[in-house]
Amino acid sequence: MATEWPQTRRPGLADALRGVREMADQHYGIWSWIATVDHKRIGIMYGVTAFIFFLTGGTEALLLRTQLAVPHAGVLDADQYNRILTMHGTTMVFLVIMPLSAAFFNLMTPLMIGARDVAFPRLNAFSYWVFLAGGIFLNASFFTKNVFSGELGAPDCGWTCYATLSSKAFSPGHGVDFWALGVQTLGIASLASGFNFIVTILNMRAPGMTLFRMPLFVWMTLVTSFLLIFAMPVIAVALFELIFDRLFNANFFNPDKGGNPLLWQHMFWLFGHPEVYILILPAMGIVSEVLPTFSRKPLFGYPFVVFSGIAIGFMSWGVWVHHMYTTGLGTVANSAFGISTILIGVPTGVKVLNWMATMWGGSLNLKTPMMFAIGFVAMFTIGGLSGVTHSVVPSDYQQQDTYYVVAHFHYVLFGGAIFALFSGFYYWLPKFTGKLLDERLGQIHFWLMLIGFNLTFFPMHISGLLGMPRRISTYSEGQGWDLWNMLSTIGAFTIALSILTFIINFIYSLRRGQAAGHDPWDGRTLEWTIPSPPPHYNFEKIPVVHARDPFWHEKYTEDEEGRPIPVVAGAANGHEEEAHDDHGGHGIHMPSPSYFPLIAALGFPIMATGLIYDYALVGVGAAVLFVGIYGWALEPATEAEEA
């Protein structure tokens, strides 16, 4: 690739960097992964890393459930329990569900819109490396005390880390600092991702793909990305306020100087409520792809599902106080937010009805992806119903801070998001591995997980209504909670078994799975038109799109009764093959790999460590960040015009 500079210039730093980069421009070997800017590889890295964190968070859950299996179990003491509890929640939200969604955004969005990559490939890589750095930094906290004698250094304030528990006075030690700085780091990754996908979706669609011909998963990616870019700054400020209070004796949450601890709750939930929709909208997008494919019917009411998603995005900003009904804000605030919270159930309900209508009258193919998608609809609806009971202020007064809440959010986040993400795994992973997952093991996984999940979390509705508070490390017998806790623990280990099944399935299928081919599910959208795994340039010819579900329309036309009949191979289906012949796969210029996103990303954990232990490191981290950014900006131009 010829440099654009006049050849009379002396070789400089940039030339050396280019040489280094050319070394990484291979498609094999660890350096090619470290310097990759390919959305597919980044997606895989997100997925693998997030799955490892899923196992970490799951292990933490098993520890908690073991401790709670019987009264006064004595497995974990209160301090250990608090730390593992905090890490379980923080991990599952920030290190599992969000990055798994990011994995799918990365893997699928360019393919579904007919693009070769995202708008800003290096920014994309940066997002991943910052996520990895943040996740490692957060978990490193465990080891800042004497782990071997059972002292854990992890944060212990709960994933919501309320003030004034989070203050230096009530949480001495570094746990909360690790939490705040770790989540802050992760926020940067999410923010960058959000920007990237909005620009990608708005600007890089294939010719003919109007917004209303986009797959619904892409729509949900778009809405989620907007939520990310507007919500993350709020938590960033909240975290800075907490960090300044702890490190520099600021007074944001200090009642002695007139500060209001409630400010934290407002800031946290202003972010937090859009955040839960960030967690669920991608999952809804996945399900909106799987259900039509496995019902052999288009998504019912596509425009309604799109507008409901957008409505949920907007309305999610108007409900946050429902997390604070019991903090004494007064009847006006509680009533107003009670109403808005009830209202936000409406667009969600619209979606559920449309999913059901999609399946109605369809030719259902009950393969594993479909089972998980149907499971999602059922479990999420149950979680939504308990959510409705929360929206009503008086009933929430009883439910707040009890296990009823734990039941609710696990139904929507596990029964909802995780089920949908597994549906996505089974559906889309074959595209990238080239191998189908084993169907029988998949069904075993599903049924074990469905049973285990309900066994774990349904009893929590009961123990919660019987008064069992959240976040307690043990309980006494004779309160009527024993049976429910035991059931939950059995359920938790059943879930673990189901995940083991998945892991076995995954490893087995990587080696001996049935070849997937282009289109194992008779799919509807563009990703099924290319080989599995895809070539690094995705599409040999950028497709031209004429309709929603473009691939389906290429394959099928309809008879008089609206039933699909296959188009005879070779026959024109109304439009000739006019896909853009780019360069036959050879002259296609893909963005060059780069080390600078990784280098820049390293700046953050170094600065974070410095803030906790030694301010000199902050300077070092800042310098690393600057080197990374300047190198990135000054890197010799690539063919495409991304940042």
Partner 1 sequence: MTLAEYRRGRGVEAPHEEGHVAEAEHAEKHPGPLEYAQIGSILAAITGVEVAIYYLGLAHTLLVIGLLVLSATKFSMVVLWFMHLKFDHRLFSTMFILGFILALSVFTVALATVGGKLV
Partner 2 sequence: MAQAVGTAHLETSTGLDNRKLLMWLFLGSECLFFGSLIAAYLLYRDRSVSGPYPGDLFDIPFTSVSAFVLLMSSVSMVLALAAIQRGNVRGMQIWLFTTAVLGLLFLSGQAFEFTEFNHHGLSLSTNLFGTTFFVLTGFHGAHVTIGVLILLSLFTVSLQGRIQQKDSLNVELAGLYWHFVDIVWIVIFTLVYLIQP
> Please, which residue, 318 or 362, has the CB nearer to partner 1?
318
Helix (H) or strand (E) holding 423: helix 419-433
Q: For residue 195, state whether it binds partner 2 (rule: CB under 8 A).
A: yes
Strand ranges, E, within 422-555? 541-542
637 binding partner (options partner 1, partner 2, none; Cβ < 5 to 8 Å by kind): partner 2
Helix (H) or strand (E) holding 557: strand 556-558
**Would you list the DSSP string of 371-392?**
HHHHHHHHHHHHHHHHHHHHHS
Q: For residue 317, state whether it binds partner 1 (rule: CB under 8 A).
A: yes
Q: Tokens for 43?
A: 């997606």
Please count the other Cβ atoms lying within 10 Å of the Cβ belonging to residue 300: 20
The residue within the footprint of partner 1, chosen from 580, 613, 623, 626 (CB under 8 A), is: 580
Residues written for the chain: 643
Do 512 and 438 contact (CB within 8 A), yes or no? no
- Cβ contacts of residue 588 below 8 Å, gap of 6+? 116, 537, 582
Do 405 and 399 contact (CB within 8 A), yes or no? yes
Q: For residue 4, state whether it binds partner 2 (rule: CB under 8 A).
A: yes
> Please, which residue, 226 or 409, has the CB nearer to partner 2?
226
What mask, x for binding partner 2 by CB under 8 A, covers residues 107 to 136? ------------xx----------------
Q: For residue 339, state whether it binds partner 1 (rule: CB under 8 A).
A: no
Q: For residue 31, state whether it binds partner 1 (rule: CB under 8 A).
A: no
The residue within the footprint of partner 2, chosen from 240, 304, 493, 508 (CB under 8 A), is: 240
For residues 35 and 26, give the distance between their C-alpha atoms in angstroms, rounded to a whole number: 10
Nearest one of 378, 389, 386 to 355, comparing CA atoms: 378
Q: For residue 198, state whether it binds partner 2 (rule: CB under 8 A).
A: yes
580 binding partner (options partner 2, partner 1, none; Cβ < 5 to 8 Å by kind): partner 1
Q: For residue 1, state whether it binds partner 2 (rule: CB under 8 A).
A: no
Q: For residue 490, state whether it binds partner 1 (rule: CB under 8 A).
A: no
Q: For residue 251, state whether it binds partner 2 (rule: CB under 8 A).
A: yes
Question: CA 478, 480, 483: angle at the middle one, nearest 5?
Answer: 110
- The answer, yes or no, to whether the previous bond of 224 is cis (omega within 30 of 0) is no
Shortest reach from residue 324's CB to partner 1, in Å: 9
565 pairs with which residues across the strands? 557
**Would you list the DSSP string of 282-323?**
HHHHHHHHHHHHHHTSPPTTHHHHHHHHHHHHHHGGG-GGGG
For residues 51 and 44, give the distance between their C-alpha atoms in angstroms, rounded to a whole number: 10
Whole-number Cα distances in Å, 507 to 120, 376, 511, 512: 32, 25, 7, 9
Shortest reach from residue 394's CB to partner 1, in Å: 19
Nearest one of 149, 236, 225, 142 to 186, comparing CA atoms: 236
Do 591 and 564 contact (CB within 8 A), yes or no? no
Contacting partner 2 within 200-219 (CB under 8 A): 202-205, 209
Nearest one of 169, 183, 99 to 141, comparing CA atoms: 183
Contacting partner 1 within 282-301 (CB under 8 A): none
Q: How many residues bind partner 2 (CB under 8 A)?
A: 46
Task: Give the SS3 label for residue 629.
Answer: helix
329 binding partner (options partner 1, partner 2, none; Cβ < 5 to 8 Å by kind): partner 1
The residue within the footprint of partner 2, chosen from 77, 150, 257, 517 (CB under 8 A), is: 257
The residue within the footprint of partner 2, chosen from 179, 252, 268, 337 (CB under 8 A), is: 252
> Please, which residue, 77 or 578, has the CB nearer to partner 1?
578
Shortest reach from residue 175's CB to partner 2, in Å: 22
Q: For residue 260, state whether it binds partner 1 (rule: CB under 8 A).
A: yes
Q: For residue 329, state whether it binds partner 1 (rule: CB under 8 A).
A: yes
Residue indicated by tokens 């990310």: 228
Shortest reach from residue 642's CB to partner 2, in Å: 7
For residues 527 and 107, give the distance between their C-alpha atoms in angstroms, rounded to a whole number: 10
DSSP single-letter state for residue 534: P
> Please, which residue, 252 or 537, has the CB nearer to partner 2?
252
Nearest one of 485, 579, 513, 488 to 541, comparing CA atoms: 579
> Please, which residue, 202 or 565, has the CB nearer to partner 2?
202
What mask, x for binding partner 1 by CB under 8 A, covers residues 166 to 205? ------------------------------------x---
Shortest reach from residue 58's CB to partner 2, in Å: 33
Give the CA-trace dihedral at 495, 497, 498, 499, to 10 degrees.
90
544 binding partner (options partner 2, partner 1, none; Cβ < 5 to 8 Å by kind): partner 1
**Would you list the DSSP string of 603-633?**
HHHHHHHHHHH-HHHHHHHHHHHHHHHHHHH
> Please, which residue, 367 or 553, has the CB nearer to partner 1?
553
> Please, which residue, 3 or 479, has the CB nearer to partner 2?
3
- Cβ contacts of residue 67 below 8 Å, gap of 6+? 73, 75, 76, 81, 473, 474
| Stretch touching partner 2 by CB under 8 A, among 137-145, 223-231, 449-457, 557-565 | 223-231
Shortest reach from residue 259's CB to partner 1, in Å: 12
208 binding partner (options partner 2, partner 1, none; Cβ < 5 to 8 Å by kind): partner 1
> Please, which residue, 244 or 317, has the CB nearer to partner 1?
317
What mask, x for binding partner 2 by CB under 8 A, covers residues 129 to 168? ----------------------------------------
Shortest reach from residue 210's CB to partner 1, in Å: 11
- Cβ contacts of residue 326 below 8 Å, gap of 6+? 396, 397, 400, 401
What residues make contact with partner 2 under the rule CB under 8 A?
Answer: 4, 119-120, 191, 194-195, 198-199, 202-205, 209, 229-234, 236-238, 240-241, 244, 248-252, 256-260, 263, 267, 630, 633-635, 637-638, 641-643
What residues make contact with partner 1 under the rule CB under 8 A?
Answer: 202, 207-208, 226, 229-230, 260, 262-263, 266, 270, 317-318, 321, 329, 333, 544, 578, 580
